[in-house]
Chains A and B, each alone.
Chain A
Amino acid sequence: MKITDAGIHPYPAGDSSIARMALEAAGLGFDSVVVIGDAAHRSPGIEVLRGAVISAASVKEVLKKVRDPAVRRADVVYVDAGDISFNRAVVSIKEVNVVRCIHATRRNAFDHVAARTAAEQGVAVDISMAPIIHLRGAKRQKALQRYADVLSLQRRYGFPLTISSGARSILEQRSVRELRGLCALFGMAGAEVTEALSSIGRIVEPHRPVRVVE
């Protein structure tokens, strides 16, 4: 079971290099990190995975972008969530691994139909800690409400969750213990946090029946 930070944005998108962020992540209790962007890096003591984010206005555009070589090379493919019909359609695309930015969507944009499809397809929903850490007041309350809503759907339908720091700097990275505390704010139990932190490993290397190779 690998504890993974499901999304960091190193230099030049942020102010810290991949190596430094990987070093800090190892010190904060992570076994692997997903780097958003086309960056390959080998770091001792921690696995660095490659993530690609698709931001699209329509499903057609998503289907076009998943064929992009940069997206094909990625270990984990993320799609930014949109409206209700977009989310329902995007969770049924085979190449998509994670739906992210759920906190920025309208209420009920990720509903029970999308949740059921996500559970069937093994598509995860990302819970980013960045809005909880950086936002204040009504915006943070809204993000916490969205996450609580997603959590209630997850408990009912069983789709995977991932947890990301969304860090653009080492100053924005948080330890596993701090993530547990932050996730407790919207009612996530410790076991659920551990499950969510290890779900990237299951996405990258899914359980499959044993095949006999002659």
Chain B
Amino acid sequence: MRPRPPAMRTKRRYILAQILPYGAQVDQKQVYLAVYEAATSLLGDAAAGLAQPAVVFCEGGYVVVRCRRGTEKDIAVALSTVTSVADERIALRTVATSGTIHALRRRMRPIRQLSGDREVKIGETYFAVYRYPRQKVDLVEKGIKHQKSLFFTEADLEER
């Protein structure tokens, strides 16, 4: 089948969103399902169908969502209502919208983890420590499943 000429193709927009918490490992398909559920629930089947949301890729703590031109504001609002992906609590923070993926890649800043103590005890619970720039500290409860996460700063840890 011959592709349509460029003038007849559907115009697309790409939305770059950051995945929080920083270390979250999420599957692209699961993100797509979460985004589609959020869009359908918020905008309805008709509007979500016309917007054609799709997850292009999901890497380095960022996700790029594709939609039809003109619907990017609706999809960005729908992204802000995504609260979990495959039972894992996450948030999608919209960073930028563009007509090309290339432009969005320039906005993707790698999230580097800093070194420091690896473990801390709060109450009776042990937490793994993940440090990030601007004195941000994420604590993840040590365990196998359904670990609790806490979001602190260096100053909070020093006070304890």
Contacts and interface: CB of A to CB of B under 8 A. Distances in A.
A38 interface: no
B134 interface: yes
Contacts, number: 72
B75 to A, nearest CB: 10
Nearest to A173: B91
Nearest to A28: B93
If over half of B's interface residues share one DSSP class (helix, strand or loop), that class is named, otherwise mixed; here it is mixed
Interface stretch (A11-19, A57-65, A97-105, A154-162): A11-19
Contact of A177 (B94, B137, B155): B94
A174 B136 contact: no
Interface string B68-112: 000001001100110100000111011000000000000000000
Contact of A11 (B41, B76, B135, B150): B150
Interface residues of B, number: 27
A20 B89 CA distance: 17
Nearest to B82: A133
A172 interface: yes
Contact of A19 (B21, B77, B152): B152
Interface string B25-50: 00000000000000001100000000
Interface in A140-177: 140, 169-175, 177
Interface stretch (A85-93, A119-127, A178-186, A205-213): A178-186
A23 interface: yes
Interface of A: 11, 15-17, 19-21, 23, 132-134, 136-137, 140, 169-175, 177-178, 181-182, 184-185
